[in-house]
Amino acid sequence: MTSKEVLSLLDGMTELRVAKGRKVVQVDLSAVDRPSDSELVGMMVSRWGKLRAPAMRVGTTFVVGYNQDILASVFGTGDG
């Protein structure tokens, strides 16, 4: 995917949640001081240039990567 294609996935989204191992990075996409476009792409794309999986839109939140807590918080299940 190109950087432009990756960024287009965020159209209409207000939040980005990225799982990085046990850590979860939350980004308010409407904030003035949000990360740059290149930083956002770096969070979403693997070192091989492919969109990290799983990647999904849940309402106005875009979720990238697998972490049980992040999925529980987004889907409102479990302890997360």
Q: In this predicted model, what pLDDT tens digit does every residue of 25-69 receive, in sequence order? A: 999 999 999 999 999 999 999 989 999 999 999 999 999 998 888
Say if residue 9's pLDDT is above 90.
yes
What's the confidence (pLDDT) of residue 75?
Answer: 79
Please state the domain extents for the chain: 3-75
**Residue position matching structure tokens 């287009």:** 8
Q: How far, in Å, CA of 30 to CA of 15, rounded?
A: 8
Q: State the amino acid at position 31 in one-letter form.
A: A
Does residue 53 come out as left (phi exceeding 0), alpha (psi in the -120 to 50 range) or beta? Answer: beta
Q: What is the pTM of this model?
A: 0.87
Could you tell me which residues are beta bridge partners of residue 28? Answer: 15
What's the confidence (pLDDT) of residue 40?
Answer: 97
Query: pLDDT tier at 76 (50, 70, 90 boundaries)?
Result: confident
Report DSSP state, residue 40: H
